[in-house]
């Protein structure tokens, strides 16, 4: 079929009629090469008008459509569907030309110049459309509707529950052998070793005990959490009986209220260069302090911190704790608290509020601590997702939301990203479960269309594309040349822009197509 474009100009709802001479636009369009039909209508979303447009398209053997639409700047869904079904036009050969935002709105006060620009833009769009190729999207069934969750902590279990509520089968990979109450399958003493495949059809290799197991799933949730184990730091070295804060919470809930002095420090390593914000700890620390004071008002409780991060409603607990007699000491990182060298049960610190050194006696010392999970690096490498500066797994851009990683189908929640309170971890787990469920529930995965393709003869296998792509789409195939995994390609064109041999093209955004558009648009007077 020869290339033949139908140009449809919406006169009224684009506002074009008041700034531009739409008759002249129509004339310019109809005289352009490859244009088989040019019509101006009042509203191209009107059913009768659509029928007329499509009839004309079939008569003139049109194979591609260019619309100057209203301010919604899209080919109206009804027109799009009609074209696809009745005129059998390829969906990638239907584009809108946004004259509203680019000409009508910004250049109202200069109608003659606006006219010139509108004509140039239309001709450039026609030049581009004439060069486009029909493209096909592919789709693949998800072989399973499993959701694999790495880490059976607070976030992971909540994610499993939420995904199960949506009817999905969940598999929790847990490195320890603790008891886990969760729906689906729990694999104890297991670790993620490697991952292949793409969103919708991942193939994971899990080391379960001593065996290697293969797992298929549609989505992966990283909920590996932080490292709550006894942490290192000068305070812990000097006072080996010091315990992490969560142990205090456990003791209180089993009824052991300390009678001797309690000191809670915000970190075991106060001089550490970048202390992750211990927000999660402050609600817990305040609750523990309040409970101790309520049950044993004689017990001295002291909280030591660099910043009193009682966020939001926890501020009310701060007030309550202070009224109950809990002592608060703020210190400066440069003058951190130290265990008294002469008395292991005394902690010495310069109280910033008083600028004085004070010594606090204690029977039990607790520290809030959470370190990044040391396994995060291995997990991130296996899944090919990036890490952040705090040793956690990074989420993607804010555009994608707080739970998604840059790779489709992989989500991150809880302290795996950044230290979180229990409540926040639960919520993030739930959100991750909801997002994974929504992703997998469709059952199919679409790909292709406007994606990248390598011309092997031009490829010098320099690996630049492989290193640049955030989605792992390019790889060096058996022929020793780069190939693009269609199911992973997101159509951004980064590899295309960077390839030094110009061996990759992005379908419908090829160099020739872009050049033709630019040359047409900026040739002539502005």
Partner 1 sequence: MAERNPKVVGFCCEEHGIECANLAVRSGKQYDVSVRLVRVPCTGRVDGIHILKALEDGADAVFVLGCLEKNCYYDTGSIEGRKRVDYVKSMLSQVGIEPERVEMFNASSSMAWKFSEIVSKMTDVAKRLGPIEPRGDGQ
Partner 2 sequence: MNNKVLVIGGGPAGLTAAQALVSNGEEVVLVEREDTLGGMARELACKGISECRNCGVCYVIDLAAEILRTPGVEVLLRSEVASVDKTNDGFKVKIRSSPRYVTGSCIGCDKCTEACPVEGKAIFAPTGSGHPRAYWIDRDRCLHFKKAKCEKCAEVCPTNAINYDDRAKNVTRNVSRVILATGMDPIDAGEIPRLGYGTIPNVVSSVDAERALNEKGRLVRPSDGVPPKKIAIIQCVGSRNEKAGVQYCSKFCCKYGTKIGQLMIDENPDTDLDFYFMDLRTLYEPQDEFKKWADSIKRKVEKKKFPRVRLIRSMPSQAFPGDDGKVWLRSSGETDSEVTETPYDLVVLSVGMRPRTLPEGLARSLGLTTDGCGFARCEDSELRSKVAVLGAVCEPMDIEETVTRAIAVGSVTVRKEGAT
Task: Report the interface residues with partner 2, using CB under 8 A.
Answer: 12-15, 17-19, 70-71, 100, 104-105, 108, 162, 165-166, 274-279, 306-316, 319, 333, 352-355, 390, 397-399, 401-403, 418, 423-424, 426-428, 430-431, 434-435, 437-438
Alpha-carbon span 507 to 200, nearest angstrom: 23
Q: Quote the least distance from Cβ 438 to partner 2, whole Å.
A: 4
Determine which helix (DSSP H) or strand (DSSP E) holds 39, and give its type and residue range.
Answer: strand 35-41
What does the DSSP assignment read for 210-229? TEEEEEEESEEEE---EE-S
Comparison of 194 and 468: residue with beta carbon closer to partner 1:
468
Owner of token pair 């440069």: 334
Alpha-carbon span 433 to 414, nearest angstrom: 12
Look at residue 357 and give the partner it binds from partner 1, partner 2, none, a contact being a CB closer than 5 to 8 Å depending on partner kind.
Answer: none
Owner of token pair 């003869």: 457
How many residues lie near partner 1 (CB under 8 A)? 44
Distance of CA 273 to the CA centre of its chain: 28
Going by the DSSP 8-state scheme, the letter that residue 299 receives in this structure is S
Q: Quote the least distance from Cβ 260 to partner 1, whole Å.
A: 48
CB 433 within 8 A of CB 162: yes
What's the Cα-to-Cα distance from 58 to each of 51, 181, 343, rounded to whole Å? 11, 62, 94
Look at residue 435 and give the partner it binds from partner 1, partner 2, none, a contact being a CB closer than 5 to 8 Å depending on partner kind.
Answer: partner 2
User: Which range, of 9-17, 46-54, 357-365, 508-516, touches partner 1 by CB under 8 A?
Assistant: 508-516
Residue 366 φ/ψ region, left for φ over 0, alpha for ψ in the -120 to 50 degree band, beta for the rest: beta
Comparison of 55 and 110: residue with beta carbon closer to partner 1:
110
Comparison of 258 and 419: residue with beta carbon closer to partner 2:
419
Comparison of 310 and 404: residue with beta carbon closer to partner 1:
404
**Going residue by residue from 348 to 387, which x/- string records binding to partner 1, judged by CB under 8 A?**
--------------------------------------x-
CB 393 within 8 A of CB 379: yes
Alpha-carbon span 409 to 163, nearest angstrom: 14
What SS3 state is found at 440?
helix
The distance between the two most distant Cα atoms of the chain, rounded to a whole number of Å, is 98
Alpha-carbon span 199 to 112, nearest angstrom: 50
Comparison of 306 and 487: residue with beta carbon closer to partner 1:
487
CB 465 within 8 A of CB 499: yes
Look at residue 78 and give the partner it binds from partner 2, partner 1, none, a contact being a CB closer than 5 to 8 Å depending on partner kind.
Answer: none
User: Which range, of 14-22, 195-203, 341-349, 393-401, touches partner 1 by CB under 8 A?
Assistant: 393-401
**Going residue by residue from 453 to 492, which x/- string records binding to partner 1, judged by CB under 8 A?**
---------------x-x-------------------xxx
Alpha-carbon span 215 to 365, nearest angstrom: 44
Look at residue 498 and give the partner it binds from partner 2, partner 1, none, a contact being a CB closer than 5 to 8 Å depending on partner kind.
Answer: partner 1
Length of the chain: 526
523 binds partner 1 (CB under 8 A): yes
Look at residue 402 and give the partner it binds from partner 1, partner 2, none, a contact being a CB closer than 5 to 8 Å depending on partner kind.
Answer: partner 2
Determine which helix (DSSP H) or strand (DSSP E) holds 454, and give its type and residue range.
Answer: strand 452-454
- Interface residue with partner 1, options 13, 17, 39, 105 (CB under 8 A): 105
Owner of token pair 């064109």: 493
117 binds partner 1 (CB under 8 A): yes
Q: Quote the least distance from Cβ 151 to partner 1, whole Å.
A: 23
Look at residue 110 and give the partner it binds from partner 2, partner 1, none, a contact being a CB closer than 5 to 8 Å depending on partner kind.
Answer: partner 1
411 binds partner 1 (CB under 8 A): no
SS (H, E, C) 337-354: CEECCCCCCEEEEEECCC
Comparison of 158 and 505: residue with beta carbon closer to partner 1:
505
Q: Quote the least distance from Cβ 270 to partner 2, whole Å.
A: 11
In the complex, which residues of this chain contact partner 1 (CB under 8 A)?
101-102, 105-110, 113-114, 117, 120-121, 386, 396-400, 406, 450, 468, 470, 490-494, 496-498, 506, 509, 511, 514-515, 517-519, 521-523, 525-526
């Amino acid at each position: 079929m020869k290339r033949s474009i139908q140009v449809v100009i919406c006169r009224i709802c684009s506002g074009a009629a008041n700034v531009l001479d739409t008759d002249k636009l129509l004339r310019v369009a109809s005289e352009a090469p490859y244009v088989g039909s040019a019509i101006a209508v009042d509203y191209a979303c009107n059913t009768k008008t659509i029928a007329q447009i499509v009839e004309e398209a079939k008569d003139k053997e049109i194979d591609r459509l260019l619309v100057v639409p209203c301010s919604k700047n899209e080919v109206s869904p009804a027109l799009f569907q009609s074209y696809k079904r009745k005129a059998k036009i390829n969906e990638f050969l239907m584009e809108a030309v946004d004259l509203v935002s680019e000409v009508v709105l910004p250049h109202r006060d200069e109608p003659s110049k606006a006219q010139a620009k509108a004509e140039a833009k239309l001709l450039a769009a026609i030049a581009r459309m004439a060069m486009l190729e029909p493209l096909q999207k592919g789709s693949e069934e998800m072989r399973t509707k499993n959701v694999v969750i790495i880490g059976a902590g607070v976030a992971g279990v909540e994610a499993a529950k939420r995904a199960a509520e949506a009817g999905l089968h969940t598999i929790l990979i847990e490195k320890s052998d603790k008891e886990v109450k969760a729906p689906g399958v729990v694999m104890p003493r297991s670790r993620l070793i490697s991952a292949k495949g793409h969103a919708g059809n991942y193939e994971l290799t899990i080391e379960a005990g001593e065996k290697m197991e293969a797992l298929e799933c549609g989505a992966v949730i990283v909920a590996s959490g932080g490292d709550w184990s006894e942490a290192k730091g000068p305070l812990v070295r000097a006072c080996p009986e010091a315990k992490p804060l969560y142990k205090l919470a456990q003791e209180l809930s089993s009824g052991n209220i300390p009678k001797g002095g309690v000191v809670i420090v915000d970190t075991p390593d106060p001089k550490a260069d970048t202390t992750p914000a211990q927000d999660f700890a402050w609600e817990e620390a305040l609750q523990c302090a309040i409970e101790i004071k309520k049950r044993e008002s004689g017990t001295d409780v002291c909280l030591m911190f660099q910043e009193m991060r009682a966020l939001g409603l926890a501020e009310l607990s701060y007030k309550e704790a202070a009224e109950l007699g809990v002592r608060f000491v703020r210190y400066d990182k440069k003058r951190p608290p130290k265990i008294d060298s002469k008395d292991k049960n005394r902690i010495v610190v310069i109280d910033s509020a008083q600028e004085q050194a004070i010594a606090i006696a204690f029977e039990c010392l607790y520290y809030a601590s959470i370190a990044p999970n040391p396994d995060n690096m291995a997990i991130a490498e296996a899944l090919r997702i990036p890490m952040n500066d705090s040793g956690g797994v990074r989420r993607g851009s804010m555009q994608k939301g707080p739970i998604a990683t840059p790779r489709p189908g992989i989500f991150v929640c809880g302290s795996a990203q950044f230290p979180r309170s229990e409540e926040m971890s639960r919520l993030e787990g739930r959100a991750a479960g909801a997002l994974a469920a929504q992703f997998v529930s469709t059952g199919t995965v679409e790909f292709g269309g406007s994606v990248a393709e390598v011309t092997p003869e031009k490829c010098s296998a320099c690996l630049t594309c492989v290193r640049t792509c955030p989605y792992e789409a390019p790889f060096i195939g058996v022929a020793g040349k780069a190939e693009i995994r269609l199911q992973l390609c997101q159509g951004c064109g980064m590899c295309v822009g960077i390839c030094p041999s110009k061996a990759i093209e992005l379908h419908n955004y090829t160099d020739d197509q872009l050049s033709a558009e630019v040359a047409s648009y900026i040739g002539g007077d502005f």
